[in-house]
């Protein structure tokens, strides 16, 4: 029997926690159904699997970087993923629970910057780990444009 892998378990808890909380903070209410959305918005069913894959890749990146890094770099990995987790968890309540896409749009640059910081911070530790974050960076950029269009189509 193999030894318990704390970095792997922690990364999985981080990923599942973000997926779970994000999903719980994203109710499909009448308010959302009434919003005008761009034609290029993906179908609703695509968001759950998409986020699961993106955050799964990020968790894999965290484990790779943790295993490749020294103690100082491991601390940096914790900080990068902790800050990102915070900004990741802020967006859905702003957009869905408070029904404020405009406030969520203000938060998006912080989320995107936290993902970019992950790419930059992981690169010297493990460049492959940094590359695993790139789909997350691209998705947040796409989601930001979608968020902007929703705000544009639905003035308060």
pLDDT, one tens digit per residue, over 30-75 is 889 899 999 999 998 898 899 889 999 999 999 999 999 999 999 9
Compute the distance between CA of residue 16 and CA of residue 38 in angstroms, rounded to an integer.
29
Contact 111, 85 (CB under 8 A): no
pLDDT of res. 95: 93
pTM of the model: 0.90
In the chain, domain spans: 6-153
Contact 114, 87 (CB under 8 A): yes
pLDDT of res. 156: 78
Given a cut of 90, is residue 105 above it in pLDDT? yes
What is the assigned CATH class of domain 6-153?
mainly alpha
């Amino acid at each position: 029997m193999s030894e318990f892998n704390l970095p792997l378990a922690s990364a999985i808890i981080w990923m599942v926690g973000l997926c779970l909380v994000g999903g719980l903070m994203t109710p499909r209410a009448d308010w959302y159904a009434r919003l005008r959305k761009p034609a290029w918005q993906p179908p609703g069913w695509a968001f759950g699997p998409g986020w699961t894959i993106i955050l799964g890749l990020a968790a894999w990146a965290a484990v790779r970087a943790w295993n490749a890094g020294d103690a100082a770099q491991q601390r940096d990995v914790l900080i990068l993923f902790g800050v990102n987790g915070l900004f990741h968890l802020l967006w859905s309540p702003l957009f869905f629970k408070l029904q404020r896409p405009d406030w969520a749009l203000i938060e998006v640059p912080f989320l995107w910057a936290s993902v970019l910081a992950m790419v930059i911070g992981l690169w010297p530790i493990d460049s492959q780990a940094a590359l695993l974050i790139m789909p997350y960076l691209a998705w947040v950029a796409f989601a930001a444009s979608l968020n902007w269009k929703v705000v544009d189509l639905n003035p308060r």
